[in-house]
Structure 1
């Protein structure tokens, strides 16, 4: 009986180590400073924690809102790298569909042709490519952008619809792009490791026939480890209908998110990260 119990425990550990949609982020704690995740103050009831896995590696972590079909946030380590962007196709998450042994993001066409899922099955739990077809003033906005990743695989992994929100096109190409690729470069000078959490606040507008929520705000926060273990932090927030980004302290962002969600106090990082 003892050997059977040990086998069951070992099997459970192996499954947890290879899962992607998980009960917590213990499979990929490296994307959070000190392994401390944001609190549950803004977690929706029908959410899923995803250790974003591509080509047998974890590349970032996402809390996903199955009801609004957008990510609540994506957490990653800021490691910008050069090189062309990957092929512009988009993945979906098989494990959001239901019981399956597929542990990595896949293209819809692969799930349908090779694994016998239907498009309707995929659409029940997440956004699909057709939801973003025909957008006029909105674009596919990455919460974890490919330009903040260093390898071809890590860049490719950001092209999953569980990391995408409908983002105002002018904001995406303008002030938010400046924040991602100018402000972040300057702010992270002197950092040995920069932990980033970027999120979206659900709004009142939906696209794709009511399937996918258009966020009211996009926000981002960073906690940077410097030499000898000292820390600094910064943050930003933008309304998702205008081309303007407001720089704020980490504490000010947590205050604003607490107001926007109207629930318990929001905390994004371990208490050691400076709020002012």
Structure 2
């Protein structure tokens, strides 16, 4: 009888641990990467969280998160703009970044008051709303914009602080917004499926009382498939202190990121995606 109880305890522990969605190398959400191939290890931070972003019983995208700098390294998704309406204006935090908490993104207020999660524990490994309220000249820049998602739930899921970086306000509302809302639709016009990875290069400046890193650059890359074959790809990058965007080939963007990451080779997509 004692042996059976011990066995049940072990099984229960395994089930609880399996509930967390911080799984190395995105084991449960590789569908957001073309050919299920991940970017190279050169982008990995020292204290990573591989988040399969979960909301309303579905995965919506994948994020590699830097727990120490409290910003995402990149978010990967499939470009699917649609007419779904976002139904609120709040931003979520991610209980799962702390690994022992449930996987679904949730409002900070709900975690603190309904589930009794201590705010200090939440703040330990991620940014919180208080951090962004302390920033000046910076906006909550989403790596995946809600406009690139189709349903109400998928749009809502982009409003989590693990998909957010401190972004220069002029850039956020200016050239970067122009790319997301006007240029991206023209680039993808004849694509059957477009895989996108958008990221941030860590900078030397920390904001919000030194808690959150301000990226030096914001970048994005896309691989366009016609049918099942990749036919074109592109990239762009912007310094995070001015309203300018540089358009690049995928190969040029990877070469630029390789320089930023100390010469460690950066690849973002499968070799099948055109580099020129």
Bin of the TM-score, shorter chain as denominator length: over 0.9
Paired with 2:230 and 2:86, the residues of 1 have a C-alpha distance of: 33
Cα pair 2:165 2:215 within 8 Å, conserved: yes
1:137 aligned partner: 137
43 and 107 in structure 1: CA distance in 2 versus 1, 3 angstrom threshold: same
Which 4+ stretches in 1 moved above 4 angstroms? Answer: 11-16
Q: CA deviation at 1:12?
A: 6.0
Paired with 1:229 and 1:167, the residues of 2 have a C-alpha distance of: 34
1:91 aligned partner: 92
1:191 aligned partner: 191
1:51 aligned counterpart, secondary structure: strand
2:73 aligned partner: 72
Paired with 1:59 and 1:47, the residues of 2 have a C-alpha distance of: 19
1:107 aligned partner: 107
Paired with 1:231 and 1:75, the residues of 2 have a C-alpha distance of: 19
Structure 2 stretches lacking a partner, 5+ long: 1-6
Cα pair 2:53 2:61 within 8 Å, conserved: yes
Cα pair 2:43 2:261 within 8 Å, conserved: yes
Cα pair 2:230 2:272 within 8 Å, conserved: no
2:177 aligned counterpart, secondary structure: helix
**Partner deviation per Cα, 1:112-140 (whole Å, 9 max, x = no partner):** 11221111111001000000004321000
184 and 14 in structure 1: CA distance in 2 versus 1, 3 angstrom threshold: farther
Structure 1 stretches lacking a partner, 5+ long: none
Q: Does 1:146 align with 2:146?
A: yes
**Partner deviation per Cα, 1:35-59 (whole Å, 9 max, x = no partner):** 0010111211101100000011000
Paired with 1:76 and 1:168, the residues of 2 have a C-alpha distance of: 23
2:200 aligned partner: 200
2:51 aligned partner: 50
228 and 40 in structure 1: CA distance in 2 versus 1, 3 angstrom threshold: closer
Q: Does 1:117 align with 2:95?
A: no
Q: CA deviation at 1:97?
A: 2.2
Paired with 1:15 and 1:267, the residues of 2 have a C-alpha distance of: 32
37 and 96 in structure 1: CA distance in 2 versus 1, 3 angstrom threshold: same
Paired with 2:99 and 2:124, the residues of 1 have a C-alpha distance of: 10
**Partner deviation per Cα, 1:257-276 (whole Å, 9 max, x = no partner):** 00011141000001100100
1:161 aligned partner: 161
Paired with 2:96 and 2:204, the residues of 1 have a C-alpha distance of: 28
Cα pair 1:72 1:199 within 8 Å, conserved: yes
1:120 aligned counterpart, secondary structure: helix
Q: CA deviation at 1:15?
A: 6.2
In the superposition, the TM-score normalised over structure 1's length comes to 0.92
1:251 aligned partner: 251
2:266 aligned partner: 266
26 and 13 in structure 1: CA distance in 2 versus 1, 3 angstrom threshold: farther
